[in-house]
């Protein structure tokens, strides 16, 4: 039956077939008239025409974007949008191509929202999604659509940006370690050495003083040993000389 109606519509031009999930806008001598639902509708050739569109939920997959943040970091972004035509008259009359126009408006909204962020605020994903949806509110009223869902399918830094953020995280971690070591009583030089990975030996001050100052007994013993290896006096050499002769 459906194939017969299609063939009859093609041959005679007096029928307009609208399927479930579609609506059609009737034009008469170029003027928009009524929106018609699913079914078979008769039309007067040449005088009347119909424009049919899907009014089910439609997924719009946006092209990938590369956007620079306020602090010069760069992100690669992909987004998806699910919308539905709720006013076919506006969707066909107020914009020449709804899909192309919607892609452009969503792309510009994403760029405005993301460019205003920095490395700290870029983590607020729900906030950015809400800002984009707020900007699309005007589009919904103008073009007769309803945005059901919007989200980012990919939101990742470029390799260069990822390296910068990792280095920043490492620097922050080292700063926290340095402050922790200094707070526990280490000297600034020792804290810097530990954070930088240098090998240091830490001894209590008492051990250092004990090793640096010899005891009195040790000093005396060292003096005796030194006397034993000292050169003989000149008198001893004079007394020994006659015997040797």
φ/ψ (deg, to 5) at 204: -60, 155
Domain count, the chain: 3
Check which CATH number belongs to the domain holding 101 and give it. 3.30.479.30
pLDDT tens string 102-127:
999 999 999 999 999 998 899 899 99
Query: What's the angle, vertex CA 140, arms to CA 134 and CA 66, rounded to 5?
Result: 55
**Domain termination site, one of 37, 53, 69:** 53
pLDDT tens string 132-182:
999 999 999 999 999 999 999 999 989 888 777 767 777 777 788 888 888
146 plus 95 within the same structural domain: yes
CB 69, CB 122: distance < 8 Å: yes
Q: Whole-angstrom Cα distance, residue 62 to residue 60?
A: 6
26 plus 76 within the same structural domain: no
151 plus 184 within the same structural domain: no
pTM: 0.64
In a domain? residue 204:
yes
In a domain? residue 131:
yes
29 plus 83 within the same structural domain: no
81 plus 112 within the same structural domain: yes
139 plus 62 within the same structural domain: yes
The range of the structural domain enclosing residue 34 comes to 2-53
Tokens of 9: 């519509």
φ/ψ (deg, to 5) at 68: -95, 130
110 plus 86 within the same structural domain: yes
Identify the DSSP state of 77.
Answer: E
pLDDT at 13: 67
């Amino acid at each position: 039956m459906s194939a017969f109606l299609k063939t009859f519509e093609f041959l005679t031009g007096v029928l307009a077939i609208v399927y479930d999930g579609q609506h059609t806008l009737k034009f008469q001598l170029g003027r928009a008239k009524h929106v018609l639902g699913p079914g078979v509708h008769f039309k007067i050739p040449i005088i009347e025409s119909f424009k049919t569109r899907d009014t089910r939920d439609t997924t719009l997959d946006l092209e990938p974007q590369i956007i620079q943040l306020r602090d010069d970091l760069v992100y690669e972004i992909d987004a998806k949008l699910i919308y539905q035509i709720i006013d076919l008259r506006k969707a066909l009359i107020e914009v020449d191509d709804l899909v192309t126009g919607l892609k452009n408006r969503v792309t510009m909204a994403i760029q405005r929202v993301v460019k205003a962020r920095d490395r700290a605020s870029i983590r607020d994903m729900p906030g950015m999604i809400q800002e984009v949806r707020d900007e699309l509110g005007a589009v919904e009223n103008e073009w007769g659509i309803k945005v059901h869902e919007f989200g980012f399918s990919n939101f990742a830094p470029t390799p260069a940006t990822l390296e910068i953020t990792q280095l920043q995280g490492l620097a922050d971690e080292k700063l926290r370690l340095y402050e922790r070591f200094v707070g526990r009583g280490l000297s600034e030089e020792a804290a810097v050495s530990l954070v930088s990975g240098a090998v240091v030996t830490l001894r209590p001050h008492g051990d250092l003083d004990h090793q640096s100052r010899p005891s009195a007994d040790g000093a005396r013993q060292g003096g005796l040993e030194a006397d034993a290896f000292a050169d003989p006096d000149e008198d001893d050499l004079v007394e020994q000389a006659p015997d040797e002769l």
